[in-house]
Chain A
Amino acid sequence: MKYENVVKAKKANKFTLHIPSRTDNLEIIRDFVVGIARKFGFENEAISEIELAVDEACANVIKHAYRYDDRKHIDITVETNSRKMTITISDQGRGFDPLSLESAEERLQKHARGGLGIALIKRVMDEVSFNIDPGRRNEVRMVKYIS
């Protein structure tokens, strides 16, 4: 593993992962966020929701933003404070218009096999926002509050 792929703890409450855009790295990405969420004190259900949301966001980057170009990288930042975890996933690939996405219900009615990831993210995280600047920096930011 190259140095840049190594998980770095910049300070106590901020962690970053810079990792090649490949589907076989999704397991590493999930383990990374699950480990932090568990240490932070989330219960199992919330940990599973965070795991799913981050997986979906990164799978979208690999498939849509970078179109399976494994020379590209995904940046994942996890920040925690006393009451919430904020996860930011960013790429420099093709952007998308989050407002143009069909709802999960529309996708299901069509028996469509994709396009469900963003719907899942919105359902399991407390806050989700997008900052899309194609080719420069696309960012999905999601927040989970600890109860």
Chain B
Amino acid sequence: MSGFEVMRRDNQDVSVLFLKGYLDAHTYPHFETELQRLVDERRYKIVVDFRELHYISSAGLGVFMGFIETVRENAGDIKLCSMSQKVYKVFDLLGFPTIYEIVKDDAEAIGRFEAPMKSSQL
């Protein structure tokens, strides 16, 4: 019934949320609940995959702002990936690429969490 769905997949200590449908002022509480669940579980390494998200408004973007400080204070991050041009443009219009890392796909996003550890081990 809802035009929005979230599917979660945990990959060791990184959680990936796959968004589907549209994220607007009606559907954003659903996404907020899923992010809150991760924070409650103290899983702060988060990837959000947009490959099946067709539309986002500022209400959807606002959800990220509500969590980013908490997540980063706990040595985590929210990395974004697999955006269509249409969705990326909304992020870009508001300057979000300066705050959030936006990459090609979920494999690259997960890799970005692992990369600093590898370099410190060298």
Same complex origin of A and B: yes
Complex CA–CA separation, A105 to B98 (angstroms): 11
Among candidates B25, B58, B63, residue contacting A62 with C-beta atoms closer than 8 Å: B25
Segment 89-147 of A: residues with Cβ below 8 Å from B = 104-105, 108, 111-114, 116-117, 119-120, 123-124
Q: Write out the residue numbers on chain A whose beta carbons fall within 8 Å of the beta carbon of B90.
A: 52, 120
Cα–Cα distance between A114 and B59 once the two chains are bound (Å): 7
User: B5 → chain A, closest Cβ, in Å?
Assistant: 15
The minimal Cβ–Cβ distance linking B64 to chain A, given in whole angstroms, is 8
A101 to chain B, nearest CB (A): 13
Cβ-defined contact, B65 with A120, below 8 A: no
A56 contacts across to B, CB distance below 8 A: 57-58
In the complex, A123 Cα to B55 Cα: how many Å?
Answer: 17
- CA–CA, A104 and B94, complex, Å: 6
| From A62, A63, A113, A119, contact of B65 by CB (8 A) | A113
Q: What residues on A are CB-neighbors of B65 within 8 Å?
A: 108, 111-113
Contact of A55 among B3, B57, B93, B99 (CB under 8 A): B57
- Cα A34 to Cα B24 in complex, Å, equals 16
Please provide the 3 A-B residue pairs with the shortest distance between their CB atoms, ordered closest to farther. A23-B26, A113-B62, A59-B25
A108 CA to B99 CA, complexed, in Å: 9
Contact of A113 among B63, B95, B96 (CB under 8 A): B63
Is A36 part of the binding interface, using a Cβ–Cβ cutoff of 8 Å? Answer: no
B13: Cβ under 8 A from any A Cβ: no
Say yes or no: A26-B94 contact (C-beta < 8 A), given A116-B62, A117-B58.
no
Besides the known contacts A48-B89, A113-B65, 10 further A-B residue pairs in the complex with CB atoms under 8 A apart: A26-B24, A27-B3, A48-B86, A56-B58, A59-B24, A113-B66, A114-B62, A117-B58, A120-B90, A124-B93
Query: Which residues of A are in contact with B by a Cβ distance under 8 Å?
Result: 23-24, 26-27, 30, 45, 48, 51-52, 55-56, 59, 62-63, 104-105, 108, 111-114, 116-117, 119-120, 123-124
B25 & A63 in contact (Cβ 8 Å cutoff): yes
B residues 28-60 near A (Cβ < 8 Å) are 55, 57-59
Task: Kindly list chain B residues whose C-beta atoms are within 8 Å of the C-beta of A62.
Answer: 25
Q: Could you say which residues of chain B place their CB within 8 Å of the CB of A123?
A: 93
Are the CB atoms of B22 and A27 closer together than 8 Å?
yes
The minimal Cβ–Cβ distance linking A107 to chain B, given in whole angstroms, is 8
